[in-house]
A and B are shown apart, each in its own frame.
Chain A
Amino acid sequence: MNGTYVATLSHVSHRYGHTAALHDVSLAVPSGIVMGLIGPDGVGKSTLLGLLAGAKQLQQGGVEVLGGDMALVAHRDAVCARIAYMPQGLGKNLYPDLSVHENIDFFARLFGQGAAERAQRIATLLHATGLAPFSDRPAGKLSGGMRQKLGLCCALIHDPDLLILDEPTTGVDPLSRRQFWELIGRMHNDRPTMTVLVATAYMEEAERFDLLAAMNGGRVLATGTPAALRQQTGAATIEEAFTALTTGGAPPPKLIIPPREARHTDLAIEARNLTRRFGDFTAVDRVDFAIERGEIFGFLGSNGCGKTTTMKMLCGLLPATEGEATLFGRTVDARDIDLRRRVGYMSQSFSLWTELTVQQNLALHARLFQLPVDYAATRIKQLIDRFGLTEYRDTEAGDLPLGLRQRLSLAVAVVHEPDLLILDEPTSGVDPVARDAFWAELGELSRTQGVTIFVSTHFMNEAARCDRISLMHAGRVLATGTPAQLVAARHATSLEEAFIRYLEEVTPPEQVAPPLAPSNVPAREAAKSVGGARARITAYALRETLELWRDPVRLGFAVLGTLFLMLVLGFGLNTDVEHLAFAAMDRDNTPESRAYLEEMRGSRYFDEHTPLHNYAAMAERMASGELKVAVELPPGFGRDLRRGRPVEVGAWINGAMPFHAETARGYLEGVHAIFLRDMALANGASTSTGAATIETRFIYNQDFRSAEAMVPGVMALLLALIPAILMALAVVREKELGSITNLYVTPTRRVEFVVGKLMPYIGIAFVDFCFLVTMSVVIFDVPLKGSMPTLALGALIYVAATTCYGLLISVFASTQIAALFGTAILTFMPAMQFSGMLTPVSALTGMGWVMGRLFPMSYFLPVSVGVFTKSLGLAALAPQLFFLALFVPALLVLSVNMLRKQEL
């Protein structure tokens, strides 16, 4: 550490495709302070933080953190244990299926902490954050504020020297927000050497930071203490100072929404006794309100208090358990299409199509709301301008920063000019300038067009702009009235204060937490040790196992599903050709011709169908696939035969299925030979047609029963498909849902990540194997002739290889759909066709041969079949096992190399 600065950026530029996110940025972060990054959306705050955390790959310029160059892998590996990074988005790097305790425990393990230390630190952190009573609750069921506290616990578990928080309080209610900052303050007091770097969109929060850097357009505009910035711009608040900095002049006039004039008497929304229960949990408890047409009605409340549920009931997305809601006098009904046309809804989490551009998203909504084409075009252009999306018109929604996404969602919600807008935290993560623009728009809609607006928010200055507000907590409405009435009722000086007082009346005060005990293990050493590697592999394996365990459906399908497939395929996959449908065209109808047909009827290979009378019928019945074989006995067959004249029997075989046709031909010839022999015997002639006998022995399977060959094959097939599909989503899912960040910013090595994730799936696959062997012996009656330990060893290596195969696809695929289809197509065909299941590998040629050789099943099938039917042991199968074993390291190395340790 170079004494005063914990991190420095010099001339850093960063681009995403053609869009520049950072433009020649230089910044120094002094150590031991709380520094804020403020600025509108999409100015590069997140990119900057990502670069500092080592999560993003540096493109241009220099980044030094904790005394070393972040472009160097060695330095990143060395310092990442001293940095903590909490990405944007509520709990994006948390695991929703894991409990609060398990989430923290996972992170603690990643940093190599022993059991005793973990227990102590987790207890302290849970206590400090007030999460202790919820330690068993799954992270996915926490409210936004609690989720952020949990994120903070996970970030602080290893005593970082640099704590990087990307918009940690976005979407969090004022009370939780206040508690969050108090927590940070306490933590910082306990460890004054820790530097905290925060990006935020709440300007009032910025007031409390030691140092601020104001950013705009990918550049740092100014750096200084809050006081210095206010002084520099002559503004009263940071919010105004910032606006002045960005617009380059005096702060714009304060937004004032004119008061409502005409009082409409008719109601836009009316809720009576509205209640919604999930199981025994009451999310919304007997809520009543009446909102007049044209009113702006604010909905305030802590996270998870039932605001979203109420809004969903109003939109008809959720049926009410009790009570009733009416919109414009009509009862809310999910099937009421006309009513939907009058409502615009914006959900709390971003819910637009990420793969469509801004323009395409808007256009699609205009279409679906049946806007006339010409009008839609002007309307879309107007909205793009008004919401400041012009330069992002052709950007895909998925690539937009959070604030811009919110703006787009809003534009989408109003595209069809609804009479009623239901907006669930529409301005979360949106910067002040854009928020003002948005509220100006709401004011305009309400006052001039009479649009009713039902909006939830955590911003008190927004709440103050509403005509009336409701305070909600734990499913109940605490108070309703104009902002001024509520402030007066609690003798508060501001709405925020009034709000917090209302909430404190119903929630117990927070206990003051004891200081954090410093970590016993210096983090730097933990990251390097071999014990650390084992701990991290265990952490990932444990987490993956827990997630699997929490998903009984997946677990059930993985085991019972495999058994079901074994049952169906084991009985169904059968290459015995029997009961071939044949029809006779007997044009002779003499004892001789009937004798010939009798031979066919006597064979178990042929089943007779209705006789044929002409060629047309034969052609038709063959074409429909009904007949596999047709036999014609010509007129005069019996007569010619008696006279010893050469006669000909005609046979037609359906050749659509080549294997079938070949086998049928063999059977026909066999039947024919028997007829000749019987005839010769009847005539008293010598039987020797050849001069030698041919003794055919079907070895390994004397009865030539196809089950004995197929059942070990089906087992190999299933152990290729199921582990691969189980594993196939493991990595791509983390990529799609965001928790992959933990790989980027923790000391986890790629190979540890991958091996940890593989282990539970290999375990499941091996359990499957044990069941499958039992089924083969017990249900299919296929004796296990060879060495069971050899088979088990082979299976273990094999399932490891097929799981790795799924892993490779998962690393390679960009979406879960691609991973699913990829696994299906890249395992099913090679397994079924190119691994020796139906056609021996030795009979394959060309591309199929290559594909077969590159698929692990080709090597396991001989092991499975060999042990089951040929009673082979380890010695005979050693070469196969050796090749099989090569797949595991080869696939692992490939996967690890294709996996990134940093985001681009």
Chain B
Amino acid sequence: MNRRLSNIYWLGAKEIRSFLHDRVLLALIVYAFSLAVIAMAQSVAQELHNASIAVADEDHSELSRAISQAFLAPYFKPATAITPAEIEPRMDAAKDTFALDIPPHFERDVLAGRMPAIAVNADATAAMQAGIGTGYIEQIVNDEIARVVNRQPAPQNGPVALTTRILYNPNTSSAWFMGVMGIVNNVTMLAIILSGAAVLREREHGTIDHLLVMPLTPLEIALAKIWANGMIIMVAVALSLTLVVQALLGIPINGSVPLFMCGVMLYLFFATAIGIFLSTIARTMPQLGLLYMLVAVPMNVLSGSNTPLESMPRALQIIMQISPSTHFVSFAQSILYRGAGFAVVWPDFLATGAVGLVVFVLALVRFRGSMVAAAG
């Protein structure tokens, strides 16, 4: 047992040394966990933010001017004044996401109670913003009409008021969300590549022969790769979370960072095992690259870190429940945003660990087999 642990430790130490040797790789990892996370947090707005809007004002009344000027930052960019003829070409060129058409005599008709129609065009190809934005626009237009017409603020919603409270992230700031999801996505990508390529490199360079004539078992070789590459990523995640997300970006973290790191560890066990599994299928690095894309891209894109899980087809949702990346995103959100404790996230931990174990065993079986094949 002692001997086994010692082997795993020293093989892993070798792994880390090789890793540190590759300066370009090191620089890429630093980038992935610092600049890339900052870029995600600061630049991407999933809420309505800086939406471009144009108003074709055919009325030129006090009311229409008030409406034109009511679209405020940070939700909207200042409205561009255009002619009705321009609406279509501008939207074709994706210059505007929203375009309002205020018909002639709008104010007169409003005051006369003739219920004129105001057209709001939304570019439905801007999927996320179009839906949210039209809601905002309707509300703003209604408010403005009420204010101008009644010379008073818009009335309350009638006899029943709806008070909504958005929990955990009251301003629905996407910097919170995107920053952490940036880390989560990078973990998956890095873990699979590092461990998979580490095995394949040994094979391409013939060092695997060397390992196999030494008193080492495939289990030891595989575990060494898992702990060493996992460790590298753990360090990157911990630094990124504390230095970049908390300190630099000032994003508050509600939950326990150590608990989250435990989850990361479980997830890394799975992700590095998948890397080893893929390396037993691919014979060369270019093959590994493609295989990796096939596995990692769906795992990342469909994990719920980019789009909601609920909107996927039922079958895909069930499949994605098997993928630990989904559980990873889920417990990352639970712990980091909602301050959930172990009592809440344990099912995710369990699923991640269980799938990880299955993949690890599969990888090990194939790894043993491929070792013999590789020697030929």
State whether A817 and B25 are in contact (beta carbons under 8 Å apart), knowing that A367-B6, A554-B287, A692-B117 are contacts in the complex: yes
Q: Which of B98-123 contact A (CB under 8 A)?
A: 106, 109-111, 113, 115-123
Segment with Cβ contacts to A, from B168-176, B262-270, B354-362: B168-176
By the criterion CB–CB under 8 Å, are B197 and A340 in contact?
A: no
Cβ of B1 under 8 Å from chain A: no
Q: In the complex, what's the smallest C-beta–C-beta distance from A731 to chain B, in angstroms?
A: 12
Q: Which residues of A contact B207 (CB under 8 A)?
A: 351-353
CA distance A680 to B160 in the complex (A): 11
Q: Which of B193-217 contact A (CB under 8 A)?
A: 193-194, 197-198, 201, 204-207, 209-210, 212-217
Is there contact, CB below 8 Å, between A817 and B17?
no
| Partner pick for B115 among A356, A693, A818, CB 8 A cutoff | A693
CB closest residue in chain A, given B213? A345
Residue among B3, B216, B289, B298 with most chain A CB within 10 A: B289
Q: Which of A647, A661, A829 contacts B36 (CB 8 A)?
A: A829
State whether B306 touches A370 (Cβ < 8 A).
no
> Taking the complex as formed, is B316 at the interface, i.e. its CB lies under 8 A from any CB of chain A?
yes
> Chain B residue with minimal CB distance to A347?
B209
Chain A, 758-814, CB within 8 A of any chain B CB? 812-814
Interface mask (A409-432 → B, CB under 8 Å = 1, otherwise 0): 000000000000000000000000
B7, B39, B51: which has the most chain A beta carbons within 10 Å? B39
Cβ contact of A846, chosen from B36, B43, B51, cutoff 8 A:
B43
Q: Are A367 and B28 in contact (CB under 8 A)?
A: no
Q: What residues on B are CB-neighbors of A396 within 8 Å?
A: 21
Q: Is the CB of A840 within 8 A of B119?
A: no
Q: How far apart are the CA atoms of A485 and B10 in the complex, in Å? A: 48
Q: Compute how far the CA of A845 lies from the CA of B175 in the bound complex, rounded to whole angstroms.
A: 12
Q: Does A528 contact B (CB under 8 A)?
A: no
CA distance in complex: A655, B22 (Å): 41
Q: Identify which of B45, B146, B159, B170 gathers the most chain A CB atoms within 10 Å of its CB.
A: B159
User: B116–A838 contact, CB under 8 A?
Assistant: no
Q: Is B65 an interface residue (CB 8 A)?
A: no
Shortest A258–chain B CB gap in Å is 30
Q: Are B173 and A658 in contact (CB under 8 A)?
A: yes
- Expressed in whole angstroms, the minimum distance between the Cβ of B281 and any Cβ of chain A is 9
Q: Which of B22-52 contact A (CB under 8 A)?
A: 22-25, 28-29, 31-32, 35-36, 38-40, 42-52
A733 to B205, CA, bound (A): 12
Determine whether the beta carbon of B24 is less than 8 Å from that of A814.
yes
Taking CB atoms, residues of chain B closer than 8 Å to A833 are: 40, 43-44, 178
A866 to B93, CA, bound (A): 8
Q: How far is the CA of A245 from the CA of B190 in the complex (A)?
A: 55
Would you call A319 an interface residue if the criterion is a C-beta within 8 Å of the partner chain's C-beta atoms? Answer: yes
CA of A568 to CA of B316 in the docked complex: distance in angstroms?
Answer: 8
B280 is an interface residue with CB less than 8 A from chain A: no
Mask for B295-318, Cβ within 8 A of A = 1, else 0? Answer: 011101110001110111100100
Which candidate, A14-22, A456-464, A704-712, is the interface stretch facing chain B? Answer: A704-712
Judging by beta carbons under 8 Å apart, are A666 and B135 in contact? yes
B56 at the interface (CB under 8 A from A): no
In the complex, the answer to whether B209 meets A574 with C-beta atoms within 8 Å is no
Residue A255 at the chain B interface, CB threshold 8 Å: no
Instruction: List, in ascending order, chain B residues with CB within 8 A of A812's CB.
Output: 24
Q: Is A375 an interface residue (CB 8 A)?
A: no
Q: Which residue on chain A has the smallest CB distance to residue B3?
A: A370
The contact string, 1 if C-beta is below 8 Å from chain A, for chain B 154-179, is 00111111111111111011101110
Q: Are A575 and B128 in contact (CB under 8 A)?
A: yes
The reply to whether the CB of A74 lies closer than 8 angstroms to some CB of chain B is: no
Q: How far is the CA of A353 from the CA of B210 in the complex (A)?
A: 10
Contact of B42 among A623, A725, A846 (CB under 8 A): A846
Known contacts A554-B290, A704-B124: does B172 contact A655 (CB below 8 Å)? yes
Q: Select B125's contact among A580, A653, A700, beta carbons within 8 Å.
A: A700
Say yes or no: is A30 at the interface (Cβ < 8 Å to chain B): no
Q: Does A578 contact B (CB under 8 A)?
A: yes
Check if B289 sits within 8 Å of A847, measured CB to CB.
no
Question: With A317-B213, A828-B300 given, is the CB distance from A840 to B161 under 8 Å?
Answer: no
Instruction: Assess the A349–B206 pair: CB atoms within 8 A.
Output: yes
In the bound complex, residues from chain B placing their C-beta under 8 Å from that of A620 are 344
- Give complex CA distance A843, B286 in Å: 36
Q: Does A261 contact B (CB under 8 A)?
A: no
Question: Given the complex, which residues of B lie within 8 Å of A669, measured CB to CB?
Answer: 135, 162, 164
In the complex, what's the smallest C-beta–C-beta distance from A368 to chain B, in angstroms?
5
Nearest Cβ distance between residue A43 and chain B, in whole angstroms?
26
User: 9 A-B Cβ contacts within 8 A?
Assistant: A319-B372, A360-B14, A368-B214, A551-B287, A650-B163, A654-B168, A658-B172, A661-B172, A694-B120
Question: CB-defined interface of A653-668 with B at 8 Å, one 1/0 digit per residue?
Answer: 1111111111101101
User: What 19 new A-B contacts, CB under 8 Å, besides A815-B22, A870-B91?
Assistant: A364-B11, A554-B290, A565-B294, A565-B297, A648-B162, A655-B172, A690-B146, A691-B145, A692-B117, A696-B137, A699-B91, A706-B127, A813-B24, A820-B289, A825-B189, A840-B126, A842-B51, A843-B129, A846-B39
The CA of A51 and the CA of B126, in the complex, are separated in Å by 58
- Say whether B340 faces chain A, with CB atoms less than 8 Å apart: yes
The listed residue (A575, A692, A728) touching B289 by CB distance below 8 A is: A728
Q: A656-B333, A709-B127, A721-B297 are in contact. Are A733 and B286 (CB under 8 A)?
A: yes
B333 to chain A, nearest CB (A): 4
Contact of B194 among A698, A700, A817 (CB under 8 A): A817
B130 on the interface (CB 8 Å rule)?
A: yes
| Cα of A218 to Cα of B119 in the assembled complex, Å | 84
**A691: chain B residues within 8 A (beta carbon):** 110-111, 113, 115, 145-146, 149
Q: Name which of A108-116, A468-476, A501-509, A556-564 contacts chain B.
A: A556-564
Q: Are B28 and A578 in contact (CB under 8 A)?
A: no
Contacting residues, chain B, for A658 (C-beta < 8 A): 46-47, 169, 172-174, 176-177
Report the separation of the CA atoms of residues A355 and B13 in the bound assembly, to the nearest whole angstrom: 13
User: Is B84 positioned at the interface, with any CB of A under 8 Å from its CB?
Assistant: no
- Residues of chain A from 815 to 846 with CB closer than 8 A to chain B in the complex: 815-818, 820-826, 828-829, 832-834, 836, 838-846
Residue B132 interfacial (CB < 8 Å): yes
Are A659's CB and B115's CB within 8 A?
A: no
**Complex interface: chain A residues within 8 A of B170 (CB):** 655
Cα–Cα distance between A349 and B31 once the two chains are bound (Å) = 36
Asked if A725 contacts B206 (CB within 8 A), the reply is no
Residues on B with beta carbons closer than 8 Å to the beta carbon of A672: 157, 160, 162
- Known A829-B185, A839-B46, A840-B129; judge A647-B217 contact (CB<8 A): no
Tell me if B375 is interfacial: C-beta within 8 Å of chain A.
yes
Most chain-B Cβ atoms within 10 A of its Cβ — which of A355, A813, A824?
A824
Inter-chain contact B44/A839, CB cutoff 8 Å:
yes
A572 touching B135, Cβ below 8 Å: no
Q: Is the CB of A353 within 8 A of B18?
A: yes
Contact partner of A692 (CB less than 8 A), chosen from B50, B110, B174, B345, is B110
A650 in complex: contacting residue of B165, B290, B339, CB < 8 Å: B165
Q: Which residues of B contact A370 (CB under 8 A)?
A: 3, 6, 215
B92 → A minimal CB distance (Å): 5
**A695/B117 contact (C-beta < 8 A), A557-B294, A676-B158, A721-B297 known:** yes
CB under 8 Å from chain A, chain B span 332-376: 333-334, 337-340, 344-345, 372, 375-376
For A557, the chain B residues whose CB sits under 8 A away are 287, 290-291, 294
Whether A695 and B294, one on each chain, are in contact in the complex, defined by CB atoms closer than 8 angstroms, is no
Query: Is A318 part of the binding interface, using a Cβ–Cβ cutoff of 8 Å?
Result: yes
> What are the 7 closest A-B residue pairs judged by CB atoms, nearest first?
A848-B43, A655-B169, A701-B124, A659-B46, A351-B206, A666-B135, A317-B375
* Residue in B closest to A722 when the chains form the complex, CB atoms: B293
A653 touches B164 (CB 8 A): yes
Q: Which of A317, A623, A851, A865 has the largest number of chain B CB atoms within 10 A?
A: A623
Within 8 A of B (CB), among A330-360: 334-335, 337-338, 340-341, 343, 345, 347, 349-356, 360
Interface membership of B292, Cβ < 8 A: yes
For B156, list chain A residues within 8 Å (CB). Answer: 646
CB distance from A560 to the nearest CB of B (A): 9
Q: Which chain B residue has the least Cβ–Cβ distance from A732? A: B285
